[in-house]
Structure 1
Amino acid sequence: MKVTWAYDRGDHRDTHQVDITDPTALDRLLRQIHERDEPVVVTIYDEPADDTDLPPGVQVGLGHATHAFVVHITDDGGYDTDPDVPAPATAISFDLGGVPTEYPADHLRLRPETAIQKAVDSL
């Protein structure tokens, strides 16, 4: 699996990409990214088999203290949510490919720990 993420640094994008096949290594990486306290979208996907824009996988929003998201990149994909987690008061901006992008509060109804576990389970 490819794992990519990027931060907007004003004058440049701080872009990262790694190959991971081990769930333990993915768990460790996602926790390290989250602990930076910089909201960022991490994209996890298989190598593309053709020229599609984005192959099937998941995107995980990490780095916010209390809220996260997981969205499935598939034809019938969608956001995972936990009905027991209240939405934040407002949208939260996460760096998506180094571009600050606001995510609606209703999509942010996961705790970071849950989002990490769901991402690892997708491997």
Structure 2
Amino acid sequence: MIRDSDMKQQGHNLLQGFSSEALVAKEMQRLGYTILGRNIRIMKGELDIVCRNEREMVIVEVRSLEDGTIEDCIEGVTRRKVRLVRRTAELFLMDKPVDYEEVRFFLACVIWRGAEPQITIIEDAF
């Protein structure tokens, strides 16, 4: 049986996740990237954010923590998750024109501590 408190927590986690992705997308735009898509689902995988600039295509995995450290965020990305994101990116890019020099994978950690969430973007995370 699903308890009311469990459903509220799931709703809170979803809202926090969507908010985190929106904040990271805004930050990537501020850094000069164009957002091509968010929450792109292909088979069993999902790409949180796909963006690009003139030279590169960037796949951003967004991790959100209510409290914790950057290390906690990094440790939360398992080898299985890395393989799944890379495979999903391959499938996504298969039918895209190759007008970029490289594909990079970033990890964005959003830690919701205090009034302002802390956003850290780790380039070439995997």
Higher relative contact order, structure no. (Cα contacts within 8 Å, ≥ 6 residues apart)? 1
Structure 1 or 2, whichever has the larger Rg, is 2
TM-score (norm 1): 0.29
* Structure with the higher helix share, 1 or 2: 2
